[in-house]
């Protein structure tokens, strides 16, 4: 989109918001709204928030990951009209959880809400959430819940998605020992000081910041719930997909290690396991045709497995910086090189361990772990280096 035609100039002027002449009062609550391709939703959402919080000093912080549809420009135009609206524009990065974290950290208000841009979350509940905090100094978090008495997810979800969401909720509650009725919700209000206590543990990759936060609070937070009805999306599309579901498994793993092992590493290892099966299948297949050439079959199996691993990691583990075009092929070659060195390290380490302690399974396992770590760390630095 050309930089000189802002959406505000190109669309029919709706009555511009009046910039209050007096200085803005410090906001009591910041509403953080992560956005990716939500241009059509920015103004309607702002109007709804304004109507939902009369007499409240609020601000809206949109966190946009450089959406191709020009969402950031739309927010800029709106912020020129209304100083309670501001923009955090991130480039070269993607990720819902990370966007929320940055938005929350950017706030100076004592309370921060997170809400989707697509009007699926019921903004009228913001007032109830705020009232709960005003009534209780010790409250840490209020969750907008689809599963509390009076809430529902009916309208907003397809059957398949509802089924997946239910399963994920049950998993999160069991594995992460979470008691809240809707840890998968993307709609909540948190006390900023409470958030700051757990922020260092949070995963920036992934979709489910609330589940991560609840788990990191280790049951010490005072949590309230406000029921809401999950509405159908009006404009644009959901960004939830299979990769998001896998990231969620990664989040469970990350939380079970107390936030120490990152989601990315867990996804890298999951992909690594698929590589083992690919390799076995290819070797088996090749041996049908060249039964006397095991070494060739094995080499070919390794090559194919490295290739599928690269493609899966590129599409899933690093889907926030997927390599395309020429970069794809350069990435593939560098991944081969990294894995080759990893294999040498694997064998070398396994051999040294075996010499000290002649237990083949242990030695082989240690070799595999060192090889996997090498592949992960070095491919992160070389193949998928951040910009």
Binding site for ligand GDD (CB under 6 A): 34-36, 38, 63-65, 94-96, 99, 116-118, 120, 184-187, 207-208, 230, 238-240
As a whole number of angstroms, the distance between CA 373 and CA 366 comes to: 11
As a whole number of angstroms, the distance between CA 332 and CA 235 comes to: 37
65 binds, among ligand GDD, Mn ion, none (CB under 5 to 8 A by kind): ligand GDD
379 binds, among ligand GDD, Mn ion, none (CB under 5 to 8 A by kind): none
- Helix, strand, coil tally for the chain in percent (to 5): 55, 10, 35
70 binds, among Mn ion, ligand GDD, none (CB under 5 to 8 A by kind): none
Q: Which is nearer to ligand GDD, 44 or 110 (CB)?
A: 44
Count of residues in contact with Mn ion, rule CB under 5 A: 3
58 binds, among ligand GDD, Mn ion, none (CB under 5 to 8 A by kind): none
Closest approach, Cβ 311 to ligand GDD, in A, equals: 21
Is-contact 97 31, C-beta < 8 A?
no
Closest approach, Cβ 228 to ligand GDD, in A, equals: 9
Closest approach, Cβ 155 to Mn ion, in A, equals: 12
173, two tokens? 């509650």
The answer for residues whose C-beta is within 8 angstroms of residue 136's C-beta and 6 or more apart is 222, 224
Q: Which is nearer to Mn ion, 125 or 191 (CB)?
A: 125
64 contacts Mn ion (rule: CB under 5 A): no
Q: Which is nearer to Mn ion, 118 or 212 (CB)?
A: 118
64 binds, among ligand GDD, Mn ion, none (CB under 5 to 8 A by kind): ligand GDD
59 binds, among ligand GDD, Mn ion, none (CB under 5 to 8 A by kind): none
- Residues 110 to 129: which contact Mn ion by CB under 5 A? 116, 118, 120
Closest approach, Cβ 175 to ligand GDD, in A, equals: 17
Strand-pair category, 188-191 with 141-145: antiparallel
Q: Which is nearer to Mn ion, 113 or 353 (CB)?
A: 113
Closest approach, Cβ 213 to ligand GDD, in A, equals: 12
Closest approach, Cβ 87 to ligand GDD, in A, equals: 11
Q: Which is nearer to ligand GDD, 240 or 243 (CB)?
A: 240
Residue number with the smallest Cβ distance to ligand GDD:
186
Q: Which is nearer to ligand GDD, 18 or 324 (CB)?
A: 324
The continuous run of DSSP H or E covering 63 comes out as strand 58-64
Closest approach, Cβ 53 to ligand GDD, in A, equals: 19
Q: 352-380: string of b/e by CB count within 10 Å (b at 16+)?
A: ebbeeeeeeeebbebbbebbbebbbebbb
Closest approach, Cβ 307 to ligand GDD, in A, equals: 27
Q: Which is nearer to ligand GDD, 120 or 346 (CB)?
A: 120
Whether the CA torsion 214, 220, 221, 227 is positive or negative: it is positive
DSSP 243-273: HHHHHHHHHHHHHHTTT-S-HHHHHHHHHHH
Q: Which is nearer to ligand GDD, 192 or 239 (CB)?
A: 239
Whether the CA torsion 366, 370, 375, 377 is positive or negative: it is positive
List the one residue out of 300, 308, 297, 245 whose CA is nearest residue 275.
Answer: 308
167, two tokens? 């399963």
As a whole number of angstroms, the distance between CA 229 and CA 361 comes to: 53
Is-contact 335 355, C-beta < 8 A?
no
Q: Which parts of this chain interact with Mn ion (CB under 5 A)?
A: 116, 118, 120
């Amino acid at each position: 989109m050309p930089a000189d035609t802002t959406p505000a100039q190109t669309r029919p002027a709706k009555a511009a918001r009046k910039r209050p002449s007096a200085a803005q009062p410090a906001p009591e609550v910041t509403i953080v709204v992560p956005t990716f391709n939500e241009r059509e939703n920015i103004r309607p959402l702002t109007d709804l928030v304004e109507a939902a919080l009369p007499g409240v000093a609020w601000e809206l912080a949109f966190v946009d990951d450089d959406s191709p549809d020009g969402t950031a420009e739309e927010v800029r135009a709106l912020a020129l009209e209304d100083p309670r609206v501001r923009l955090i524009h991130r480039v070269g990065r993607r990720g819902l959880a990370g966007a929320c974290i940055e938005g929350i950290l950017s706030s100076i208000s004592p309370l921060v809400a997170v809400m989707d841009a697509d009007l699926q979350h019921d903004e009228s509940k913001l007032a109830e959430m705020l009232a709960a905090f005003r009534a209780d100094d010790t409250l840490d978090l209020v969750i907008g819940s689809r599963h509390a008495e009076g809430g529902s997810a009916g309208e907003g979800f397809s059957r398949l998605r509802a089924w997946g969401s239910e399963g994920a909720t049950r998993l999160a509650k069991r594995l992460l020992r979470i008691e809240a009725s809707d840890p998968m919700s993307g709609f909540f209000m948190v006390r900023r000081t409470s958030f700051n206590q757990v922020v260092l543990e949070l995963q920036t990759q992934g979709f489910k910041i609330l589940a991560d936060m609840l788990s990191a609070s280790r049951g010490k937070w005072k949590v309230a719930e406000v029921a809401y009805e999950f509405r159908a999306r009006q404009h644009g599309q959901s960004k939830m997909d299979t990769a998001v579901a896998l990231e969620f498994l990664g989040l469970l793993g990350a939380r079970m290690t107390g936030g120490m092992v990152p989601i990315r590493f867990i996804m890298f290892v999951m992909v690594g396991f698929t590589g083992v099966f690919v390799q076995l299948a290819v070797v088996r297949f090749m041996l049908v045709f060249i039964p006397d050439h095991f070494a060739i079959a094995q080499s070919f199996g390794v090559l194919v497995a490295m290739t599928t691993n690269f493609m899966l990691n590129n599409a899933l583990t690093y889907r926030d910086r997927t390599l395309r075009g020429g970069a794809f092929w350069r990435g593939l070659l560098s991944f081969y090189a990294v894995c080759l060195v990893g294999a040498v390290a694997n064998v070398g380490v396994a051999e040294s361990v075996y010499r000290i302690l002649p237990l083949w399974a242990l030695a082989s396992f240690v070799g595999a772990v060192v090889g996997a770590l090498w592949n992960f760390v070095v491919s992160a630095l070389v193949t998928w280096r951040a910009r």
